Structure 1
Amino acid sequence: MRKQQSKKPVSGHIRLISGRFRGRKLPVKDVEGLRPTTDRVKETVFNWLMQDVRDAKVLDCFAGSGSLGFEALSRFAHSATFFEFDKQVAQQLQQNADTLKLDNARVEQGDTLSKLATPAAQTFDLVFVDPPFRRDMVQTCCALLEANQWLNEEALIYVEFERESTPIFPENWTILKEKQAGQVCCRLYQRT
């Protein structure tokens, strides 16, 4: 007689690559459209940000796995706020923050663009914009960050988008770094 297999969704994990939680693996919910930033891309991004993460107030706009925000916290960012639409994914982010005993991580469940459409209660030094692909959210997200004063004066903004798309970014953002990895275009901007 065959055992009945459970239908429990398979989960993956992210690995923190440097800092105080180096090597720690955190579970990630298996949700359609969730694509954690690869270690290779994450390493590139944090090499770009090497001098700028410590003590930064971080906003992870479409947190998903939380890979970028947790990496920033591991590298001694002052704090990180995670915006995540999916309720289960947001709960997993909170569990991961609890596992790491982080009192400087805040998870907010809800629609990122709706949150950014309101005036900012807090401003940020470092912002990650890595929305679900093929949903045309990058340009709107970046415009809202600027229009509603979510950014500190010389904030750094890391953006990932589909190679074939051509979003328009705020005029006062200067490209510092750019890289293409497969179908993904990665850019680091600074607000000027």
Structure 2
Amino acid sequence: MRIIGGTHRSVALTPVGKGDEAGHLRPTTDRIRESLFNVLAGGRFGDPVEGARVLDLFAGTGALGLEALSRGAAQVCFIEKGRAGYKLLSKNIAKLRAGEVTNALTWDATRLPANPYKPFNLVFLDPPYGKDLGSAALKCAKAQGWISDDALIVWEEESPQSAPDGFAVLDHKKYGATHITFLETA
């Protein structure tokens, strides 16, 4: 795994190794990240990355949020409960020397407290597949003030996702067995 574009292009991220099967650690592949960020840069959604305040829920290694940071995001807040994922995430933040523009929190994305920061306008959501955690995390993040009213949400899952209450589907893309649903707040 590596950063695909931007100021940290080609920087190798910490290898996952055996990962964390119990924690369902499944990093987004380089190919899917490249395709995803090409869609984001394509103009359909404006320029959602440049200057963005990014929330990376179920962050795992942090590859999505760190890719956004490399491509011009201003701030990234990572939420990762798993020990193996959080350890890899911390190493990757250090590797990119991004500690001053990131926050890494070991919280449950489905049980977030009230947001202590300014709301985020770009949200990456990559929950463990088959656990039905994505809707719960989005609802909680919105209710607790983590998501701005003009946010773009990028939800990665194993099947297409319908919008939970308070959100609307903008688009859907399929990359092999991975489905990406783009949402906005409603």
TM-score normalized by structure 2?
A: 0.86
Which letter maps to 2:4? Answer: I
Q: Percent identity?
A: 33
1:28/1:65 contact within 8 Å kept: no
Between Structure 1 and Structure 2, which shows a larger proportion of strand residues? Answer: 1
**1:177 offset after TM fit, Å?**
2.3
**1:129 offset after TM fit, Å?**
0.8
Which letter maps to 1:170? Answer: D
1:139/1:167 contact within 8 Å kept: no
- Counterpart-to-counterpart distance in 2, 1:121 and 1:184: 32
User: Partner of 1:170 in structure 2?
Assistant: 165
Which letter maps to 1:18? Answer: G
SS in 2 for 1:49: helix
1:13-46 residue CA offsets vs partner (Å, 9 max, x unmatched) = x211000000111113322121111222212221
- Counterpart-to-counterpart distance in 2, 1:159 and 1:139: 10
Listed as ranges, the gaps of 5+ residues in structure 2 are 42-46
User: Partner of 2:150 in structure 1?
Assistant: 154
RMSD: 1.7
Which letter maps to 2:108? Answer: D
- Counterpart-to-counterpart distance in 2, 1:166 and 1:63: 19
Q: Which one of 10, 20, 43 corresponds to residue 31 of structure 1?
A: 20
**1:183 offset after TM fit, Å?**
3.0
Q: Which one of 95, 109, 112 corresponds to residue 112 of structure 1?
A: 109
- Counterpart-to-counterpart distance in 1, 2:109 and 2:178: 21
Asked whether 1:187 is paired with 2:174, we answer no
Listed as ranges, the gaps of 5+ residues in structure 1 are 1-13
- After superposition, where does 1:84-103 map in structure 2 within 5 Å? 84-102=80-98, 103=100
Structure 1 runs (4+) deviating above 4 angstroms are 165-168
TM-score normalized by structure 1?
A: 0.83
2:60/2:88 contact within 8 Å kept: no
- Counterpart-to-counterpart distance in 2, 1:62 and 1:176: 22
- Counterpart-to-counterpart distance in 2, 1:131 and 1:159: 8
2:86/2:106 contact within 8 Å kept: yes
- Counterpart-to-counterpart distance in 2, 1:80 and 1:188: 19
**1:84 offset after TM fit, Å?**
0.9
